[in-house]
Structure 1
Amino acid sequence: MRKTDFCPRSMTELENATKALGCSSDIYGNNQYMCLPNAEKTSLVEFCFDGLMGMKEKGYCLEVYEGSLTTKSCENFLFGCPNEPWRNYEFYKYPACQAINIRDKCYRLDPSCSTDNNGINESNVEVSKIQDPIVIYSVLGAVIILLITIIVILLWERNTLKKGYVHLIQSCQEENFVLSSHCPHINNTREERRNVLQSQGVEEE
């Protein structure tokens, strides 16, 4: 078991760390590499766990205490706490559980943990890079609504302009000014005018 400044954040990083440390798999083929904070929150440690990689309940982080795995409730975290049951080797999916304040010996996403030391004596898991799914979905939803609104406005304006053009053609026809200077924007062919009118369900006289 050795101290480390970083824990894997992806499956690729996990595999690389596993090879570097020489960890194997349990009898079910699960990776036995672990990278967790110690129970005192004074450092991150990486090691090869020699037991079975079992399941953990949602709402809990893993810690290491005297070589054994222990759990710590994270339900009061601002975000990043596991929200479904998870396996030990999936620790890398929950970086909030490795983001610790070494000076104050606490989890950085715990509201009671101090955040006024400008990153000094903290583990190298940046809180700004821990993505909150609620925030992501909220932003995505807002973007989708904005795009739909823009499309509706553009379609409405296009329809309004087309109706105005049809009305202009009809007005010019009624006044027999189709080819006069009073209707400079519709001095096109009879076939083109017929197409515009038919698109609006209007028969040309």
Structure 2
Amino acid sequence: MSYKGFGYIVDSCPLSKANTTEAASKLNCINDVFGRSQYVCVPNENLTAVVEFCYTKSIVGLYQAGYCLKTIKDGYLDQISCKNFTEGCPTAPYRSTELYKYPACSRLNTEFRCFAADSLCVSTTTDDGSVDVGVILDVVLPLLVLVGILIAAFLFRRRRQKLKLKTKLKRRKKILGKSVFEIY
């Protein structure tokens, strides 16, 4: 399926150099001026799909460790941090032609629009499809505690206001109950 006129949505990226070469050949990707393949397979900018294309915007550059790549508008590449990955984040500088070494950089949780290896990517289901009660408790319990605290604070403030008003009324009644000469 064509993606924004510059690439194709695929189920997964190649996991070896040979498969990368084969995919580049199918797309008729040419080499850059240094003889490096311009084939790229990365997530799209919304992290909802994986896109393969021939990167023709510039030469194949060197990318920082601690970052994966994603495509942004019109087929440009952008780095995205993978420092919260549980595994598979590049630990040394790499070229886009070496992305097959880092499959975690192309495995997505499209429902939550995040990388599957990202520890911050929350999933409420387990591998067998059942609901993960621990995740729900981690999210719901703090929210319930927060709501409880807010309700308690509201009720405390309201009670305090009522007590102030009651005290004020007692003073007025006490003052008004005395004669004018007793007040002065």
- Normalising by the residue count of structure 1, what TM-score does the alignment of the two structures yield? 0.56
Which structure would you say has the larger Rg?
1
SS in 2 for 1:46: strand
Tell me the alpha carbon deviations over residues 21-62 of structure 1, each in whole angstroms, 9 at most, x when there is no partner.
Answer: 111100000010000001210100000001200101110000
Aligned counterparts, 1:32-47, within 5 A = 32-47=38-53
The amino acid of 1:59's aligned partner reads G
Distance 1:61 1:70 in 2: 8
1:71 aligns to what SS in structure 2?
strand
SS of match in other structure, 1:12: helix
Q: Which runs of 5+ in 1 are unaligned?
A: 120-205
Aligned pairs for 1:124-203 (under 5 A) are none
Instruction: Give distance in 2, aligned partners of 1:79 and 1:6.
Output: 18
Number of the residue aligned with 1:160: none
Aligned equivalent of 2:60: 53
Computed over aligned residues only, the root mean square deviation of the Cα atoms, in angstroms, reads 1.5
Q: CA contact under 8 A between 1:108 and 1:115: conserved in structure 2? A: no
Count of aligned pairs between the two proteins: 120
- Cα distance between partner residues in 2 of 1:13 and 1:58: 23
Give the 5 Å matches for 1:76-91. 76-91=84-99
TM-superposed deviation, 1:117: 4.1
Query: Residue in 2 aligned with 1:31?
Result: 37
Q: Which amino acid aligns with 2:98?
A: E
Cα displacement string for residues 117-170 of structure 1 (whole angstroms, at most 9, x for unaligned residues): 457xxxxxxxxxxxxxxxxxxxxxxxxxxxxxxxxxxxxxxxxxxxxxxxxxxx
Secondary structure of the residue aligned to 2:51 is strand
Higher relative contact order (CA 8 A, sep 6+): 2
CA–CA separation in structure 2 for the residues paired with 1:117 and 1:17: 33
